[in-house]
Amino acid sequence: MRRMARKSFRPEIIQQGRELFLEQGGENISFSQIAQRVKIAQPSIYNHFANKTDLLVAIFEDAVSRGRVHTWPDALVDESADKKLHYYMTNTWNFFRNNREAYKLTLARYYYATFNDEVRKINEKTVLVARSMIKKIIDEGVEQGVWTTESSEATASTIQGILMAELIMGVHGTAVGDGDAQLRRLIHVIEKLLNAPLIPADQP
């Protein structure tokens, strides 16, 4: 007789863990609460996560993946580099502006990275992957004659740093002002850095 595959509750555990994290903070969530919400026995959670730190890492990794799907210019294969960069900057800003959950998880990830090595590794990987993607666009722009730069690596690092600083301080943070105006200012800063305009791309 063929044995039925055991259902994995990992996605549901991450989802409910994320919701509890946003409701009451990482320090206050417990496996018993999550088990109650998922409607499974608490020991079943240990089939997927050894402890709460493992779960928090999974929550942050899931949030990073979700953000990447919504912001990266993968669909703009045939567009010019200036349009790709404009798309990435605009979509990243609007994603976090319109998604307070993602914004709060990003802030929490940076906070936990100050004392948790596993979360710090997620942050480092996220920064490196984003910087690599921006560098690829910068290199494409150089090849297309859209802009020039002495170091695409340094330029990509600067752009990524400016974007993250603006996101943390500007989207829902301490900066005061209209969100669209803040985005235009951000785009203008990048244009000054590249000495070239960024052109909006048609949404794919």
- With 80 as the cut, is the pLDDT of residue 25 above it? yes
pLDDT at residue 184, as a whole number: 86
- Give residue 111's domain range: 53-194
- C-alpha 156/C-alpha 147 separation (Å) is 13
Q: With respect to residue 64, please indicate whether it lies within any of the assigned structural domains.
A: yes
Mean pLDDT of 114-123: 93
- Structural domain total, the chain: 2
| Tokens, residue 28 | 């206050």
Residues 44 and 63 in one domain: no
- pLDDT (tens digit per residue) in 125-178: 999 999 999 999 999 999 999 999 989 999 999 999 998 888 877 655 544 445
CATH of the domain at 159: 1.10.357.10
Residues 18 and 75 in one domain: no
DSSP string, 18-65: HHHHHHH-GGG--HHHHHHHHTS-HHHHTTT-SSHHHHHHHHHHHHHH
Mean pLDDT of 105-119: 92
| Among 96, 89, 63, CA closest to 171 | 96
- With 80 as the cut, is the pLDDT of residue 203 above it? no
| Tokens, residue 185 | 């200012």
pLDDT at residue 44, as a whole number: 92
Contact call for residues 95 and 72 (beta carbons, < 8 A): no
> Where are the alpha helices (H) located in the chain, listed in sequence order?
10-24, 31-38, 42-45, 52-71, 81-98, 100-112, 117-144, 152-166, 179-194
Q: With respect to residue 172, please indicate whether it lies within any of the assigned structural domains.
A: yes
- pLDDT (tens digit per residue) in 48-97: 999 999 999 999 999 998 888 778 777 677 889 999 999 899 888 888 88
Residues 21 and 114 in one domain: no
Residues 113 and 171 in one domain: yes
pLDDT at residue 5, as a whole number: 42
Reported pTM: 0.82
Contact call for residues 75 and 36 (beta carbons, < 8 A): no
Residues 77 and 14 in one domain: no
Residues 79 and 139 in one domain: yes
Contact call for residues 196 and 84 (beta carbons, < 8 A): no
- With 50 as the cut, is the pLDDT of residue 1 above it? no
Residues 16 and 108 in one domain: no
Q: With respect to residue 73, please indicate whether it lies within any of the assigned structural domains.
A: yes
CATH of the domain at 14: 1.10.10.60
